[in-house]
Structure 1
Amino acid sequence: MTTVTAAVARELGAPLSVQQLELDDLRANEARVRMVAGGICHTDAIVRDGIYPTPLPAVLGHEGAGLVETVGESVTSVRPGDHVVLSAAYCAACNECQAGRMAYCENLFAQDFGGSRTDGTTAFTTADGTRISSHFFGQSSFSTYSNVVESSLVRIDPSVPLEVMAPLGCGMQTGAGSVLNELRPPAGSSIAVSGVGAVGMAAVMAARVAGCTTIVAIDLHDSRLELAKELGATHVVNAAAGTVVDELMSITGGQGVNYALDTTAIPGVLAGLIGALSIRGTLALVGAAAPGTTAEFEIGASLVKGWTFKTIIQGSSVPQQFIPRLVELWKQGRFPFDKLVRTYKLDDINAGFADSASGAVIKPVVVF
């Protein structure tokens, strides 16, 4: 057993509690990682609030970055001393994983939200032996040390600062991958991004990398829209005016946008974007909504447009391949996601959650 300091989600909707826990022995398919930083993501908040069903109490955190200290006997992809970013876990054995579609792992909920290893054990306990859910996204990175499953480990260039790289594990990968891996817009095409938080900003930057010549950022916060222009948006629309569709049609000369990516998961927002699609346009959803949420689509007049709707998980990426590509883009100055980050100490983690919820900060990152 190793004593660690971790932020624990104990009750639904309540602030996290920073306390000491016991970390158990490493399993064969795990690596012991000393955390350097961990991003705070919207998914952490919705699990804390019970929207997704990870058993509480739990150590959350799924955008970890750190140093490998020891590895289990079956681990071959990393070794002690490696710098790693931590991403979503996957089983590597199901049909989707075997086909290279790890983001759509058939066992995704068990791997990432189950709160334990596949054998039912948890890595964390209190001093009196009380179980604390672990292995959130295979990592539970809101802890000074964690036992991380091999599929969550992504080795990166040791010359880049780990404090900066943590958000690549989920939010940045999701936004950028949705554009570069899934939508794949051709150079010269148009795209609208609805909601420019961390995921949306990553999509804006990726659209510029892809060569889109019309990139429209949509949000309620003028400060975010100004930053989006700095990061690659050619146009911005404040959704508070209620004229999003009209403005998108005006920007595109009445043709509509070729691609629309929604990060809000607000049914009315999602459904409204259909009216701004071009013929054969694509509307994609990456935002997480509560199970049971529905959206209504007009299907009569829109039939002749031949439009596509799709949902995207984790940017449809293979983390071990895609995250190092994002690191290289960052090194070249073409994916400057560090401009979104504000850092917090572990003791101030709840302030990071609050600042994210209010929109005051786009990407809070805990630095250990």
Structure 2
Amino acid sequence: MTEFASLPGAVLDGEIVAHFGNPMIEQRLLAAGEAVVPVGDRTLIEVAGEDRLTWLDSITSQSVARLAAGESTELLVLDPQGRVEHAAGVFEDGTSAWLIADSDDADPLATWLKRMVFRSRVTVTVHTDAALAGFFAGGAAEERVPAAAPNGVPLVWRDPWRSVAPGGHQYAAVAQHPASDYAWCIAVVDSSAQLTGPFAGALAAEALRIAAWRPRWSREVDERSIPHETDWIRSAVHLDKGCYRGQETVAKVHNLGHPPRRIAALQLDGSDTVLPVPGDAVLSGDAEVGTITSVALHHEDGPIALAILSRRAPDGDLVVRSQGVDIAAAQQVIVPADAGATAGVPRLTRLSRRPVAPDPRDPR
């Protein structure tokens, strides 16, 4: 098919199509299900073999052993301390399980998977030449993306972030989660077909992701991240499945609460021309309480960001310091400081140990 870089009007940021001339219009079209996004920062990994699902189930955070053809989910690979090492969307077509990972993570993830094969009847293959296209389900764009179907089932991963997955748990205490309309999909494009516009770039897709509070491995994850901090329990972790590496930490933090850090959404003051970048400091008064991980200009909300904050960061307004400029930031708490299964449950008061004087009316 035509290379993404040669699509009419494509403006590149490295090897990624950033936009096609007007990111704001592209966002509106994308949100309405009308535009298609060339996805150049994800890589496809195929896991084949008759043991593929039970094997993936045993080594990752998600329950995939009974994943049926055409079903999608996502999984995390955790280290023994429960920290996030890898993340991937998963789609089953009845013959192979297809993983979609951030490109920076794809080769390390595939290498780790191959080390874990042992005697399992599975093979792991990285398809670096696969073309991927993103769109929002329910609109005209879905009909214009020619998905490959090597085993008879179209390869379309449907992001599970839209709702709490079976076995998951949501920490965000909101009446209406912004992800409820986030019907994001990524299709593996048939190499013999041609993508047709209108198109949107990565800037548009990122803005809608941030507005939906959706974490990504390449943005919100560092060497200390655990799933609870980004509310990733809601879509990538099954709390009731069998043993896997890192499960003890997942269970402990979920049952006792208090993850060491927490994600928050920030509505930034748009009166200044400075737009923060990932890595900029988030302040409360003079104290640094966190770091910006993702930032975008939203077509309705203006400048928005996701930040990873210390658990002790206050719930009120904050300041983002970027290029020597302090930018006011209204905070929306996503993961509360006491996030966990017991959050909001009244704690029993400790019983008094003082001796009780006998009642003189007691005949005993």
Q: Which bracket does the TM-score occupy, shorter chain normalised?
A: under 0.3
The structure with the largest alpha-carbon Rg is 2
- Provide TM-score, normalisation by structure 1: 0.24
